[in-house]
Amino acid sequence: MNRKLHVAVAGATGAVGIEMIKTLEKRHFPISNLTLLASARSTGKKLKYNGSEIPVKELTKSVFAGIDIALFSAGSSISKQFAPIAAQEGCVVIDNSSAFRMDEKVPLVIPEINAMDVKKHNGIIANPNCTTAVTLMALYPLHQAFHVKRIFAASYQAVSGTGAKAIEELSRQIRESLNGGHITKEVYPHQIAFNVLPHVDSFLDNGYTKEEMKMQNEGRKIMHHPTFRASVTCVRVPVYRAHSVAVNAEFERPVTVASAREVLLKAPGLQVIDDPAKNEYPQPLYQAEQYDCAVGRIRQDCALENGLAFWVSGDQLLKGAALNAVQIAEELVK
């Protein structure tokens, strides 16, 4: 494909959709026509792209004729309903939801790791879970060098990971709390302002949440590493944007801080911010709106064989969603 393309964003008014539009513009994706889709609630709303205002249309079965690439971020049920229809119309769908990630016929791609899998698509390509994406940006280069066996991890996930309504919920609860008023809850089961919730996504029979199991399941598929194991606790924190993950990784081969650092310094899409003497380490506040993820607090794990502990932060709306989706689209047009 070396012509300009008709691109659609489904879920254009959402937290991820807005970032998709900005990322397409910033990275000069070759677009002839941009169609913005959302629910009937948003019909007529206008969103900015490249200096013009584009009206949002309702997502229906008939909108995909003539569209080359559709970036979906309108939730799992919408993807299940509309992505196959779009693919049948000849459009390539890059889907941000969990709907197709574990489907054997659907590649699950982080371009820095398995860009070659894009070629195997049958009309749908899946974007990974945001916490998994941020973690693998640091873990995969280490895996290539030292072969990871398993990780133990805890996430610190921003409210924007839940969408636009959760961003409003944090702001509202901060105001309500500071005014000494009643705290209203619409998105999370408990107050998120001035609190942390060890609960992201729904609980499974094994006691983990769905979000927690994505690290192992999606990690295996993306890294082509079927025996990779991950025990994760996912935690929602009152941060607006960018997820962080504390990782303890055990490798097959011996690893030192110096050899790990050498590998991480060369990794694409990753900054090393790691100078404890100067209080320098990755922080979500400063990773927000950055394309690169950042790794720091790199140290020899004192409880694991061939173990390394590290901390990684990354903007989950970008590397965990919009940027990764646009990078996949860029692979398609290469």
* Active site members: 130, 243
Residue 303 in 3-state DSSP? coil
Stretch 24-43 residues interacting with ligand NAP (CB under 6 A): 38-39, 41-42
Does the footprint of ligand NAP cover residue 317 (CB under 6 A)?
A: yes
The residue (of 232 and 317) whose beta carbon lies closer to ligand NAP is 317
Shortest CB 280 distance to ligand NAP, Å:
26
With tokens 């229906």, the residue in question is 60
Q: Which of 226, 217, 11, 211 lies closest to 103, judged by CA?
A: 217
Binding footprint of ligand NAP, residue count (CB under 6 A)? 29
Q: Which of residues 56-115 bind ligand NAP (CB under 6 A)?
A: 59, 73-76, 78, 96-97
Residues between 216 and 275 that touch ligand NAP (CB under 6 A): none
In the sheet that holds 229-236, the strands lie side by side as 229-236, 148-157, 243-251, 307-314, 293-300, 270-272
Using Cβ positions, the residue closest to ligand NAP within the complex turns out to be 14
Q: Which is nearer to ligand NAP, 296 or 320 (CB)?
A: 320
Nearest distance from residue 162's CB to ligand NAP, in Å? Answer: 6
- Give me 289's structure tokens: 């709106």
Query: Can you tell me which of 5, 7, 8, 15 binds ligand NAP, judged by CB under 6 A?
Result: 15
CB of 98 to ligand NAP, least distance (A): 6
Taking the complex as a whole, how short is the minimal distance between the CB of residue 38 and ligand NAP, in angstroms?
4
Contacts for 315 with CB less than 8 Å, ≥ 6 apart: 241, 242, 287, 288, 289, 290, 291, 293, 323
Instruction: Estimate the share of the chain in helix, then strand, then coil, as percent rounded to the nearest 5.
Output: 35, 25, 35
Q: Which helix (H) or strand (E) is 222 found in, with range?
A: helix 210-223
Name residue 58's beta-bridge partners.
38
Among 193, 294, 320, 329, contact with ligand NAP (rule: CB under 6 A): 320
Please give the DSSP secondary-structure letter assigned to residue 165: H
Neighbours of 107 (CB within 10 A): 23
Closer residue to ligand NAP (CB): 21 or 118: 21
Nearer to ligand NAP, 135 or 160 (CB): 160
Whole-number Å distance between alpha carbons of 74 and 270: 28
Quick one: which of 85, 102, 115, 164 contacts ligand NAP (CB under 6 A)?
164
x/- binding map, residues 119-138, to ligand NAP, per CB under 6 A? -----------x--------
Alpha-carbon distance of 168 to 136, in angstroms, equals 29
Helix axes 15-26, 323-333, angle to 10 degrees: 40
Q: Which is nearer to ligand NAP, 93 or 317 (CB)?
A: 317
Minimum CB distance to ligand NAP, residue 21 (Å): 11
Residues engaged in binding ligand NAP (CB under 6 A): 11-17, 38-39, 41-42, 59, 73-76, 78, 96-97, 130, 160-161, 163-165, 316-317, 320-321
